[in-house]
Amino acid sequence: DAKTTQPPSMDCAEGRAANLPCNHSTISGNEYVYWYRQIHSQGPQYIIHGLKNNETNEMASLIITEDRKSSTLILPHATLRDTAVYYCIVRDYYGGSQGNLIFGKGTKLSVKP
Amino acid sequence: KAGVTQTPRYLIKTRGQQVTLSCSPISGHRSVSWYQQTPGQGLQFLFEYFSETQRNKGNFPGRFSGRQFSNSRSEMNVSTLELGDSALYLCASSLQAGTETQYFGPGTRLLVL
């Protein structure tokens, strides 16, 4: 089962920041937080991941709380092309025999003009 | 660098037939994972291959099998197709097994009639 909880849907106005929350209260010290998104029936697209520090790349920023029990993905200036299902996933850093991604239901983000 | 490619993109089969799907990973990536996505069950892990060896398997019946070749290309096979096998089959590649970021292909949409 997925170890994360996300709101099923969110709306965001075009040009505004989209803040997508994720709860992972049972995360362990060895687990990363990964974010992917899936635009209608395409393959999931990797966005960003982090362990404990905040991370930023050309697509988004990831803010992880100090206790690591929740995180927020921030799309700074949402466009209509950001409309997608966003998945938050926790994944064991050491992989072992369980390196696969366990997807939950994600958050359906709708960016509106 | 070219992304993950999957062939064919669309496929229609009838119950009882078998099907083979192909995945070419990103150049230099040695690990390939397969996922099934259906409206009811969401994205579910099928198996992972690294260095021509299956190192991890999800909870799917033995009708689902796969293999990886020495050039890291992978195939998955579904025998005795059932209506419930209709799904989007996604392949993801990563540099190494387990912990590396996985990058997804566009998927193969299989319809079983």
The average pLDDT across B2-17 equals 96
Query: pLDDT tens, B25-58?
Result: 999 999 999 999 999 999 999 999 999 999 888 9
State whether residue B56 sits within 8 Å of chain A by CB. yes
Q: Which residues of A touch B39 (CB under 8 A)?
A: none
The minimum CA-CA distance between B14 and chain A, rounded to whole Å, is: 22
Contacts for A108 with CB less than 8 Å, ≥ 6 apart: A8, A9, A10, A84, A85, A86
Q: Give the burial string for A70-83 (b: 16+ CB within 10 Å, else e).
A: bbbbbbeebeeebb
**pLDDT tens digits, residue range A57-113?**
999 999 999 999 999 999 999 999 999 999 999 887 655 545 678 888 999 999 999
* pLDDT at A1 exceeding the cut of 80: no
Q: How many CB pairs under 8 A join A and B?
A: 65
Mean pLDDT, rounded, for B62-91:
97
